[in-house]
């Protein structure tokens, strides 16, 4: 029993320590920044919408595990920047529709409309 309690405390502390090092508000952007000449079939986003933002604290409070968003399959380095792999228009829609919106709809929690997350105005280049 003591071993179980010790393990539970260590697991809790590891979550608290890792959560303490992450920024609260994250702006999901840069889906065009990682497109290279080798990515001939990737169409850049039109940037018609504001960038999406999300709160790490709210997601952590909802008991989401890091790898529910920062997936491991095909991402052994646990790359935190979605756009490094999910590039351009298709990549951005894949992340938003298959991850963010899918989870919000399944749990019936969180924003359900585009402009509830797409709130951060970015300066035009």
CATH H-level, domain 25-120: superfamily:
Cytochrome C3 (3.90.10.10)
Residue-level pLDDT at 31: 82
* Token couple for 108: 């019936």
User: Measured between alpha carbons, how far is 119 from 59 in angstroms, rounded to an integer?
Assistant: 18
How far from 124 is each of 46, 48, 83, 95, 115, CA to CA, in Å? 12, 11, 18, 23, 19
Break the chain into its structural domains and give their ranges: 25-120
pLDDT, tens digit, 9 for 90 and up, residues 30-75: 788 888 899 888 998 887 888 888 888 888 888 888 778 777 677 6
User: CA 26, 109, 63, 49: dihedral to nearest 10 degrees?
Assistant: -10
More confident residue, 13 or 111: 111
User: Measured between alpha carbons, how far is 93 from 116 in angstroms, rounded to an integer?
Assistant: 16
For the whole model, what pTM was predicted? 0.64
pLDDT, tens digit, 9 for 90 and up, residues 91-114: 888 887 788 888 899 989 888 888
């Amino acid at each position: 029993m003591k071993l179980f309690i010790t393990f539970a405390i260590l697991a809790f502390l590891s979550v608290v320590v890792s959560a303490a090092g992450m920024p609260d508000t994250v702006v999901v952007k840069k889906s065009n920044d990682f497109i290279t000449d080798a990515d001939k079939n990737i169409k850049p986003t039109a940037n018609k919408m504001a960038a999406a933002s999300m709160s790490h604290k709210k997601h952590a409070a909802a008991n989401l595990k890091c790898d529910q968003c920062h997936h491991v399959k095909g991402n052994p380095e646990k790359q935190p920047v979605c756009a490094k792999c999910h590039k351009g228009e298709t990549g951005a829609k894949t992340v938003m529709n298959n991850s963010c919106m899918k989870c919000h709809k399944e749990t019936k929690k969180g924003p359900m409309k585009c402009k509830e997350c797409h709130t951060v105005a970015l300066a035009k280049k």
